[in-house]
Amino acid sequence: MTGRALVIAATVLVALSSCAHRPLSDSTAVTHAWCTALVRDDEAAAERLMTQSLRAEVARTRAVDSDFRRDHPGDKPPLGDGLRLTSFPDAIASCATLRVDGDTVLIQVTPAGSPDGAWEDRLRLRTEAGISRVDDVEFGPTGSDRLRVWLAAGGM
């Protein structure tokens, strides 16, 4: 191989390598942003990381909440504790990625004031327009308690 052929081959390998790692990088970036939103208690930032269909579910639940507030003044509305983004509604001290497995990211969430009381949730990611987005959150160990299920029940 000539020097020029080696340079071309190396360039192609670097380009292919960066393409192969891009989904992981996107998964890592969206997970980091999700965790930052959790720690900052920033629902709007978390919503911006969601797929269009999940954001539509959130909008429907917010409409149900708004109707409930109008029809039942003084009663606690479905979103009285805010949008459910983790297993528990506690204030969050930290959030970290434990494992990335394809489109599923296992995160550990530690509540403020209770470092031994951490829990694990799973982010289900989907790519939209070339960007990894959160499409659902599985709360806790079983996977049966999910954000989409909670939203479909009107946030109750």
Q: What is the CATH number of the domain that holds 141?
A: 3.10.450
Amino acid (one-letter) located at 65: D
Question: Of 61, 83, 75, nearest to 139 (Cα)?
Answer: 83
Q: What domain range includes position 106? A: 3-152
Distance CA 72, CA 52 (A): 30
The pLDDT, as a whole number, for residue 114 is 80
Q: pLDDT tens digits, the chain, 156 residues: what are they?
A: 554 443 333 333 333 333 333 344 488 899 999 999 999 999 999 999 999 999 999 999 999 999 999 999 999 998 888 899 998 877 899 999 999 999 999 999 999 988 678 899 999 999 998 899 999 999 987 778 999 999 998 877
Detail the DSSP E strand segments found in 51-149: 92-101, 104-111, 119-128, 131-139, 145-146
pTM of the model: 0.80
What's the structural domain count of the chain?
1
Alpha-carbon distance values, 114 to 93, 98, 111, 136 (Å): 9, 19, 6, 26
